[in-house]
Structure 1
Amino acid sequence: MIYDIVIIGGGPIGIACGLEAQKKGLSYLILEKGPIVNSLYNYPVNMQFFSSSERLEIDEIPFISKEAKPSRIEALEYYRRIATSNNLNIHLFEKVENVSKNDDFFSVKTSKDTYQAKNVIVATGFYDIPNKLGIPGEELAKVAHYYKDPHFYAGQKVAVVGASNSAIDAALECWRKGAEVTLIIRGKSVGDRVKYWVRPDVINRIEEGSIKAYYNANITQITATTLDIKTDQKEITIDNDFVLALIGYRPNFTFLEKMGIRLSDNEKRIPSYHEETMETNVKGIFLAGVICGGMETHKWFIENSRIHAKMIVKTILENQN
């Protein structure tokens, strides 16, 4: 079978693309390397979204949440029910390994099979590859680039690296479960984009001394029991049991380049695509969602990229006529 569309990524935007293709009568297949909305599944267990529930809706399907800002578990239920109740053609736990062009079709090789498609939509997000500190000791088992549950860190000396939502949420949650928390912040303050109801909370905890914070600081070395920290004023060593290096994530640029998609030469690494059609420089390959922003991972969200599904499917239909 030759599909009209193969969609790489079964997150909210990949699901939105599948819904739109299904409504327009196009044959499609969604390929997801993990469970449904794999990235959301791997978010911290207690995460609460910055966006309200209606802004996370896709295909005008109502998202009802207990509070204005839905939780991770509510989002998982919402997107899972959409996928199952609409009988979306989605293959789970099947990782895409390679995409190549054969004459008029694309060959999409996965960990389980190979599929043929007239068009490919890449909706893989950015959560797969963490940014690294690049320092001695980062390979130690005590260092994590993903954070899940604060209970694990109760009674431990935990250093949290970062100043964005993920780092600040982790610092507060771990402290509330009894961890001794130290924040290592590269800049001069807690990040401006931290959720507005969370930022005052962490600043108050820092000011009262419940959470120790070092600003204009970087970790220079990690050992089994300590951290070396350099600030603009001094160098210190502190005792440490665990490090949460939550300094952001990046799209899989190598995967994009292997498909022939051009990236900008600057540090933003923005993929080449047409803003009105979402088609890349490779005819028949489209981008959807946060991956469109390259390293600017704060630019695209569910709420402002769900429209990509309609834009892409409209273009594909027009190209067929």
Structure 2
Amino acid sequence: METLDILIIGGGPIGLACGLAAKKAGLSYVILEKGCLVNSLYNYPLNMTFFSTSERLEIDGIPFMSINAKPTRPEALEYYRRVATSRELHVKLFEEVQTISPNGDTYTVKTPRHTYNARHVVIATGFYDIPNLMNVPGEDLPKVRHYYKDPHFYAMQRVIVVGAHNSAVDAALETWRKGADVTMVIRESGIGSRVKYWVKPDIENRIKEGSIKAHCHSVIKAIRPDEVDISTPDGVVTVENDYVIAMTGYQPNFSFLEKAGIELSKDEKKYPAYNPDTMETNLPRVYLAGVVCGGMDTHVWFIENSRDHAEKIIAHVKRNA
């Protein structure tokens, strides 16, 4: 079995950036992705617009051309696909990593299809796979969705959107514009401060005029097939309802990290242990890259501010070769 210099887990933008850096350095590598190419971006809402400009989403200096000031999900999918194909990156899709095990000076990585051996492992798995649950009765009903894709599905339906940040605001506005009766349930005092600046006035005006109803300082208490109980400052309010779109955020696969042997902080943030100068974890020659570095603080790392993780990792690998 060939021993690779680097095995990269995750075929998102940062995983691709690590592959580009490894190839440029003349290192043998493979990128393993459990889903399609840039799987997390693929699962974003169909009409999503990025907060960043296209040049801040570029990797390895490859130009990202967009017809809009802010690129859209389809443009990003096309860009990263062209990067992977034009640079002939060694990517294996729909191959989920099951285990990472130390094997002397190397690591054995197993998937349902193959067993790999690598001197270094990079984990760039993102955070979009496991939703943060509300842990309320009825959350397991089919009407409850933790992922939002297309507003047309909710046309003429009674929709509750849980949350007050970008994903929730986009879902509320888009489904309302398709004719849904929308109610927002917001834990905080109002719309989040990090909501895209060109969207925030829109949602706040829709709430102010009453087109979209909003319960602030409120949480879902129980969900039933035709209605939902909302705990508000004025007591429990029962609302007739067809669908609940719970935009409560997501978290990294902590069990995968722990199973591999990566230490996590003992508090609720679950920060993984790594050296910010090299991205190396407590496991020798095992690195983290991208959003997974932030633990539960998934708003800290993005494509635009974690692209240099690839350069740090490859520089450290070369120094210790």
User: Could you say which residue in structure 1 is the equivalent of 2:160?
Assistant: 159
User: Could you say which residue in structure 1 is the equivalent of 2:62?
Assistant: 61
SS in 1 for 2:228: strand
Alpha-carbon shift at residue 111 of structure 1 (Å): 2.0
1:164-213 deviation line (CA, Å, top 9, x unaligned): 10000000000001100000000111101000000100000001111000
In 2, the alpha carbon distance for the partners of 1:220 and 1:102 equals 49
In 1, the alpha carbon distance for the partners of 2:319 and 2:259 equals 27
Query: Where in structure 2 are the equivalents of 1:98-113 lying within 5 Å?
Result: 98-113=99-114
User: Could you say which residue in structure 2 is the equivalent of 1:130?
Assistant: 131
Alpha-carbon shift at residue 232 of structure 1 (Å): 1.6
Letter paired with 1:132: L
User: Could you say which residue in structure 2 is the equivalent of 1:187?
Assistant: 188
SS in 2 for 1:203: helix
Query: Where in structure 2 are the equivalents of 1:38-49 lying within 5 Å?
Result: 38-49=39-50
In 1, the alpha carbon distance for the partners of 2:37 and 2:141 equals 31
Please tell me whether residue 177 in structure 1 is matched to residue 197 in structure 2. no
Query: Where in structure 2 are the equivalents of 1:256-295 lying within 5 Å?
Result: 256-295=257-296
Letter paired with 2:267: N
Letter paired with 2:258: E
Letter paired with 1:100: S
In 2, the alpha carbon distance for the partners of 1:273 and 1:102 equals 21
User: Could you say which residue in structure 2 is the equivalent of 1:8?
Assistant: 9
In 2, the alpha carbon distance for the partners of 1:186 and 1:91 equals 41
In 2, the alpha carbon distance for the partners of 1:38 and 1:16 equals 15
Alpha-carbon shift at residue 282 of structure 1 (Å): 0.3
SS in 2 for 1:300: coil
Please tell me whether residue 304 in structure 1 is matched to residue 300 in structure 2. no
In 2, the alpha carbon distance for the partners of 1:152 and 1:75 equals 24
User: Could you say which residue in structure 1 is the equivalent of 2:36?
Assistant: 35
Letter paired with 1:45: L
In 1, the alpha carbon distance for the partners of 2:257 and 2:305 equals 22
In 1, the alpha carbon distance for the partners of 2:187 and 2:98 equals 36
Letter paired with 1:70: P
1:212-254 deviation line (CA, Å, top 9, x unaligned): 0000001110000000001122211010000000110000011
User: Could you say which residue in structure 1 is the equivalent of 2:18?
Assistant: 17
- The structure 1 segments of at least 4 consecutive aligned residues displaced by more than 6 Å after TM superposition are none
SS in 2 for 1:264: coil
Letter paired with 2:45: P
In 1, the alpha carbon distance for the partners of 2:35 and 2:253 equals 16
User: Could you say which residue in structure 1 is the equivalent of 2:83?
Assistant: 82
Letter paired with 1:52: T
**Count of aligned pairs:** 320
Please tell me whether residue 240 in structure 1 is matched to residue 230 in structure 2. no
Alpha-carbon shift at residue 270 of structure 1 (Å): 0.5
Please tell me whether residue 215 in structure 1 is matched to residue 216 in structure 2. yes
In 1, the alpha carbon distance for the partners of 2:194 and 2:113 equals 40
User: Could you say which residue in structure 1 is the equivalent of 2:92?
Assistant: 91
In 1, the alpha carbon distance for the partners of 2:39 and 2:97 equals 14
TM-score after normalising by structure 1: 0.99
In 2, the alpha carbon distance for the partners of 1:247 and 1:188 equals 16
SS in 2 for 1:14: helix
In 2, the alpha carbon distance for the partners of 1:50 and 1:155 equals 29
In 2, the alpha carbon distance for the partners of 1:159 and 1:42 equals 21
1:118-175 deviation line (CA, Å, top 9, x unaligned): 0000000000000000000000000010000000000000000001100000000000
Letter paired with 2:133: K
Please tell me whether residue 315 in structure 1 is matched to residue 300 in structure 2. no
Letter paired with 1:221: A
